[in-house]
Chain A
Amino acid sequence: MSKPNEAKIIGASLPRIDGPEKLSGAAKYAADNHLPRMSYAYGVFSTIASGRIQDIDVSQARQMSGVLDIFHHGHFPTLYRTPSSMEQENKVDETRLPFEDDKVYYPGQFVALVVAETFEQARAAAYRVKVDYASEKPIADLEQALATGEQPKPHGESGHERGDPASAFNQASNQIDVIYTTPMETHNPMEMHASTAMWDDGSLVLYESTQGVIFARNTMAKIFGLPVERVVVHAPFIGSGFGSKLWIWPHAVAAAAASRQIGRPVQLVVPRQQMFTTTGHRPATQQHIQIGTDAEGRLVALSHETVNATSMVNTVAELAGRCTPTLYSCSNVKVSHATVRANIGTPTAMRAPGAAPGLFALESAIDEAAVAIGMDPLAFRKLNYTEHDEGQDLPFSSIHLMEAYEKGAEKFGWSRRNPEVGSMRDGNELIGWGMAACNWEALKQDSEAHVSLRSNGTVYVSCATQDIGTGTYTVVAQTASAVTGVPVDRIQVKLGDSTYPRGPLAGGSWATATVMPAIAKAAKAAIEELKTYATGDDGPFQEASMDDLQFSDGQLSDGNGKSITFGELLKEMKLANADGRATTSGEMNSDYSYNSFGAHFVEVRWDPGISRLRVSRVVSAIDVGQIVNQKTAANQVEGAIVMGIGMALYEQTEYDPRSGLPVNNNYAEYLVPTHADQPPEVDVLLLDHPDYNFSEFGARGIGEIGITGLAGAVANAVYHATGKRIRSLPITLDKLMA
Chain B
Amino acid sequence: MADDRKTEASAEDENATVRTSRRNFLKFSASGAAAAAVASWIPGQIASAREAEPVTDDALPGQGERRIKLIVNGQEHTLNVPVNAVLLDVLRDRLNLTGTKKGCDLGQCGACTLLVNDVAINSCLSLAVQHEGEKITTLEGLARDGELHPVQQAFLEEDAYQCGYCTPGQIMSAVALLNDPNLPKDDASVREAMSGNICRCAAYKNILAAVQSARSRMGGLA
Contacting A at CB under 8 A, from B25-59, are 25-26, 28-36, 38, 42, 45-46, 49
Contact A565 B32 (CB under 8 A): yes
In this complex, what residue of A is CB-closest to B93? A119
Contact A676 B195 (CB under 8 A): yes
Contacts of B205 in A (CB 8 A): 638, 678, 682
Contacting B at CB under 8 A, from A120-159, are 120-121, 124
In this complex, what residue of B is CB-closest to A471? B162
Contact B192 A190 (CB under 8 A): no
Indicate if A610 sits at the interface (CB-CB under 8 A): no
In this complex, what residue of A is CB-closest to B168? A25
Contacts of B104 in A (CB 8 A): 192, 272, 666-667
Contacts of A479 in B (CB 8 A): none
Indicate if A239 sits at the interface (CB-CB under 8 A): yes
Give the number of residues in B that approach A within 8 Å (Cβ atoms): 94
Contacting A at CB under 8 A, from B1-38, are 1, 4-10, 12-13, 16-21, 24-26, 28-36, 38
**Closest Cβ of chain B: how far from A609's Cβ, in Å?**
20
Contacts of B7 in A (CB 8 A): 499-500
In this complex, what residue of A is CB-closest to B169? A190
Contacts of A192 in B (CB 8 A): 102-104
Indicate if A271 sits at the interface (CB-CB under 8 A): yes
Q: Please measure, in the bound complex, the distance between the C-alpha atom of A124 and the C-alpha atom of B4, giving whole angstroms.
A: 33
In this complex, what residue of A is CB-closest to B86? A120
Q: Please measure, in the bound complex, the distance between the C-alpha atom of A198 and the C-alpha atom of B4, giving whole angstroms.
A: 12
**Closest Cβ of chain B: how far from A651's Cβ, in Å?**
11
In this complex, what residue of A is CB-closest to B161? A22
**Closest Cβ of chain A: how far from B23's Cβ, in Å?**
8
Contacts of A674 in B (CB 8 A): 195, 198
Contact A553 B33 (CB under 8 A): yes
Indicate if A632 sits at the interface (CB-CB under 8 A): yes
Contact B108 A25 (CB under 8 A): no
Contact A190 B98 (CB under 8 A): no
Q: Which of B1, B6, B63 is the one whose CB lies under 8 Å from A65?
A: B63
Partner-binding segment picked from A318-326, A338-346, A367-375, A481-489: A481-489
Indicate if B111 sits at the interface (CB-CB under 8 A): yes
Contact B45 A24 (CB under 8 A): yes
Contact A190 B198 (CB under 8 A): yes
Contacts of A118 in B (CB 8 A): 82, 93
Contacts of A16 in B (CB 8 A): 156, 159
Contact A22 B17 (CB under 8 A): no
Indicate if A540 sits at the interface (CB-CB under 8 A): no
Q: Please measure, in the bound complex, the distance between the C-alpha atom of A700 and the C-alpha atom of B140, giving whole angstroms.
A: 37
Q: Which of B31, B142, B162 is the one whose CB lies under 8 Å from A636?
A: B162
Indicate if B78 sits at the interface (CB-CB under 8 A): no
**Closest Cβ of chain A: how far from B100's Cβ, in Å?**
7
Contact A489 B159 (CB under 8 A): no
Contacting B at CB under 8 A, from A643-699, are 643, 666-668, 672-676, 678, 680, 682
Q: Which of A271, A487, A500 is the one whose CB lies under 8 Å from B28?
A: A487
**Closest Cβ of chain A: how far from B60's Cβ, in Å?**
15
Indicate if B194 sits at the interface (CB-CB under 8 A): yes
Indicate if B106 sits at the interface (CB-CB under 8 A): yes
Contacts of A499 in B (CB 8 A): 4-7
Asked whether A34 and B96 contact (CB < 8 A) given A16-B159, A485-B30, A491-B18, the answer is yes
**Closest Cβ of chain B: how far from A540's Cβ, in Å?**
15
Indicate if B105 sits at the interface (CB-CB under 8 A): yes
Contact B25 A488 (CB under 8 A): yes
In this complex, what residue of B is CB-closest to A4? B28
Q: Please measure, in the bound complex, the distance between the C-alpha atom of A191 and the C-alpha atom of B105, giving whole angstroms.
A: 11
Indicate if A413 sits at the interface (CB-CB under 8 A): no
**Closest Cβ of chain A: how far from B9's Cβ, in Å?**
4
Indicate if B68 sits at the interface (CB-CB under 8 A): no
Indicate if A269 sits at the interface (CB-CB under 8 A): yes
Asked whether A26 and B12 contact (CB < 8 A) given A20-B19, A65-B63, A468-B163, the answer is no
Contact A239 B101 (CB under 8 A): yes
Contacts of B85 in A (CB 8 A): 120
Binary per-residue interface labels of chain A (447-476) against chain B in the complex, 1 for a CB within 8 Å, 0 otherwise: 000101011111110100000111100000
Indicate if B207 sits at the interface (CB-CB under 8 A): yes
Contacts of A576 in B (CB 8 A): 9-10, 13
Q: Please measure, in the bound complex, the distance between the C-alpha atom of A666 and the C-alpha atom of B201, giving whole angstroms.
A: 17
Partner-binding segment picked from A160-168, A230-238, A252-260, A286-294: A230-238
Contact B98 A25 (CB under 8 A): yes
Q: Please measure, in the bound complex, the distance between the C-alpha atom of A516 and the C-alpha atom of B68, giving whole angstroms.
A: 52
Contact B163 A239 (CB under 8 A): yes
Which of A32, A638, A642, A675 neighbours the largest number of chain B CB atoms within 10 Å of its CB?
A: A675
In this complex, what residue of A is CB-closest to B45? A26
In this complex, what residue of A is CB-closest to B28? A8
In this complex, what residue of B is CB-closest to A632? B159
Contact B82 A469 (CB under 8 A): no
Contacts of B19 in A (CB 8 A): 17, 20, 488-489
In this complex, what residue of A is CB-closest to B148? A23
Contact B140 A25 (CB under 8 A): yes
Given A240-B162, A554-B32; 9 other pairs, CB 8 A cutoff:
A25-B49, A25-B97, A29-B165, A191-B103, A272-B108, A457-B33, A460-B9, A565-B33, A667-B109
10 A-B pairs, CB-CB below 8 angstroms?
A22-B164, A23-B164, A192-B104, A460-B17, A469-B163, A490-B33, A490-B35, A567-B33, A638-B205, A672-B200
**Across chains A and B, which 3 residue pairs bring their CB atoms closest together, nearest first?**
A25-B99, A554-B33, A457-B35
